[in-house]
Amino acid sequence: MGGEPYLSIRPMRIVISSDPRLLHVLRGVVRYRAQEAGFGPAEVEYLTLAIDEAVANVMRHAYGNRRDARLALEILTFPDRLEFVVEDTGPKVEPEALRPRALDDVRPGGLGTYFINCCMDAISYDENFAGGNRLRMVKRLPPKTSSRDEYSSQERG
């Protein structure tokens, strides 16, 4: 094993209490996984924002700001995408409640689902999840460019 860095890409599952002070832990893990998967700095921040919004919504709405409940974030890495799965044990959410409000409805808050929809390529809510709520968010990986492609574009630029 020498001094080489080691990284194993497997499903990662993190369970935290519903205390907003722990959101920074999830943000750090999401940033790390997104960077390792090959996303650029802007995409990393967008993904981090989307997961932060999804988990904050669970804390605020499913748990009514209780800090003693539990929720989980699972990150699955595939060759072409990352999948983020948020699970909670709160009361079932109606899928209509997960839709963003109209942007012309100007008022504070309420844009979390809008940000999530903007950042992710696919979102699905598992209505059959027996334990509470399960939200799956998918982000496709950026296309790989070869070093030859990068060199060609630099020559033209």
Task: List per-block mean pLDDT (blocks of 10 residues) for the chain, which spans 157 residues.
Answer: 59 93 95 95 96 94 94 94 96 73 56 83 93 95 67 52
pLDDT at residue number 143: 83
Residue 5 belongs to a domain: no
Residue 1 belongs to a domain: no
pLDDT at residue number 94: 76
Domain count, the chain: 1
Buried b / exposed e along 51-79 (16+ C-beta atoms within 10 A):
bbbbbebbbebbbeeeeebebbbbbbeee
pLDDT at residue number 41: 97
CA angle 96, 87, 54 (to 5 degrees): 60
Residue 4 belongs to a domain: no
Residue numbers of the domain that contains 74: 12-156
Residue 95 belongs to a domain: yes
Residue 108 belongs to a domain: yes
State the Cα–Cα distance between residues 10 and 66, nearest whole angstrom: 31
Residue 110 belongs to a domain: yes
Crossing angle, helix 23-37 and helix 41-57, to 10 degrees? 150
CATH code of the domain in which 66 resides: 3.30.565.10
Residue 2 belongs to a domain: no
pTM confidence score: 0.79
Residue 19 belongs to a domain: yes
- 86 Cβ contact list (under 8 Å, min separation 6): 51, 54, 55, 58, 71, 72, 73, 133, 134, 135, 137
pLDDT at residue number 67: 95
Tokens of 76: 């699955």
pLDDT at residue number 9: 56
pLDDT at residue number 113: 80
